[in-house]
Structure 1
Amino acid sequence: MHQFHCPDLLPPVIELPEDEAHHATAVLRLSVGARIGLLDGAGTRAIGLVELITKRGCSIHIEERTMVPPERKARIHLAVAPTKQMDRYEWFVEKAVEIGVDRITPVITERSERINLRTDRLHRVAISAMKQSQRAWLPRIDEPTRLKDLLCTDLPLQRYFGWCEGEHRQLMAAYQPHNDALVLVGPEGDFTPAEASRLREGGAVAISLGAARLRTETAALAACTWMSLAQQR
């Protein structure tokens, strides 16, 4: 059954968003009476029937709804520096959503090679990954945020940051799977010593993900995968 995203599944008849309606009618060529799956990204799954197709949109009659509880006991927040090549960051977002993540923040650091990115595109990538993996929850994707500003916001008390220099702990030994957690991953040049000091002062623990030096997007996914699996034990 084809899956579609619609942020409001409460009315008995809903209109698919423009891009989803185009995909349903022009790409998949669904006809009236076709049964489809629907996700609102906030825990609701639904099954509906295509009721009306017009040049402007596609109306769906909701047959049934199911509420899905949060997928994890504790929330996972990844703050990851944008990569120089945008397609690598989009790949990271796609895979993180498939694995399971609650919030993604593009964090801008002193050594960031990219400070601007289209979060609307990242949101579309996340929606596509949610549908493909048949998850019911869509992660929050923030606008690019400078590290110093991020540290002034309300964050989980359990905080880690990838660090290639100095003393650090293994994430597998430090992570507490029953508590919300934030993992920060810096750019290709890593966090500066001053940023590392600021992170430690804010309660973050320097971590390692093994002996190999990983790319930014790989390190973020490795951390995400480990935390997701640890919560399932």
Structure 2
Amino acid sequence: MHLFYTPDITTETYTLSEDESKHSIRVLRLQEGDEINLVDGKGSFYTAQIKTANPKKCVLQVINKAPDFGKRSFYVHVAVAPTKNLDRMEWFVEKAVEVGIEEISFLLCDRSERKNINIERLEKIAVSAMKQAVKAYLPQLNGMQAFPSFIQQVDAANTYIAHLENHDRTLLSQVHLSQKICILIGPEGDFSVKEIELAYGRGIKPVTLGTSRLRTETAALVACHTVNLLHELKSVLP
């Protein structure tokens, strides 16, 4: 399947960008009459036919549009403090998009070793992962935000903080799932005591991801997968 990301598609005739045109005609060797698929990142999946096989301006004719393609009945939001090694955050974004996620936020915490991120690069990775997984929805990626400010904006009743302090914590797999859930994942040195207390003060509940001590990016992906799996089981079990 040849899948292209076309976020600005609005009409039944569409011209690929010069880079995408070159890729489709020179690299993939597609010809007039060949069919390709398009996604706009907003939920629409298109089938289109090549009308003009020009390597600089490849013109397409949309022949079918499937709205709400793969739309889910739940919403997964993971907020994570980026690791010092950005490659590990890029890995998380890629895998989370493949598994299924609606929103990713990046937290600036007391113990954060990384103070900034390249959101444009992460968005490109997310687009690539969306195409790889044949999804029509591109997750929302939010730039760095200070932890105290971020937790003031979330719905505390459906937000959980995964920390390593020796407190009473519920296994994430045992929480009562809502349709929209946010999981907070701390930096490599964990959330500070002050941050945990701030979260508790907002009504955010503590969870654990299990007995293993996980790397930040692994914990974030485990949280994402766990919520996805719980919703899938919920949909098939009586």
Provide structure 2 residue ranges, at least 5 long, that are not aligned to the other structure. 234-238
> C-alpha displacement at 1:115, in angstroms?
1.5
TM-score normalised per structure 1: 0.92
Contact 2:109/2:146 (8 A) holds in 1 = yes
Q: Tell me, in whole angstroms, the C-alpha distance in 2 between the residues paired with 1:193 and 1:143.
A: 24
1:170 maps to 171
Provide structure 1 residue ranges, at least 5 long, that are not aligned to the other structure. none
Q: Tell me, in whole angstroms, the C-alpha distance in 1 between the residues paired with 2:156 and 2:47.
A: 35
1:135 maps to 135
Deviation readout 1:95-128 (Å, 9 max, x if unpaired): 1001110000011111111111111111111111
TM-score normalised per structure 2: 0.91
SS of aligned partner of 1:143? strand
1:31-180 aligned at under 5 Å gives the runs: 31-54=31-54, 56-68=56-68, 71-155=71-155, 157-167=157-167, 168-176=169-177, 178-180=178-180
Q: Tell me, in whole angstroms, the C-alpha distance in 1 between the residues paired with 2:155 and 2:95.
A: 23
Contact 1:16/1:57 (8 A) holds in 2 = yes
Contact 2:43/2:71 (8 A) holds in 1 = no
Deviation readout 1:13-58 (Å, 9 max, x if unpaired): 1122454334323432333332101111111000011222446432
1:224 maps to 224
In structure 2, relative to structure 1, the CA distance for the partners of 1:158 and 1:70 (3 Å cut) is: farther
RMSD over aligned Cα, in angstroms? 1.8
Q: Tell me, in whole angstroms, the C-alpha distance in 1 between the residues paired with 2:30 and 2:121.
A: 25
* Deviation larger for 149-158 or 120-129: 149-158
Q: State the AA in 2 paired with 1:147.
A: F
In structure 2, relative to structure 1, the CA distance for the partners of 1:154 and 1:165 (3 Å cut) is: closer
> C-alpha displacement at 1:163, in angstroms?
0.7
> C-alpha displacement at 1:157, in angstroms?
3.0
SS of aligned partner of 2:90? helix
Identity %: 36
What is the number of residues matched between the two proteins? 232
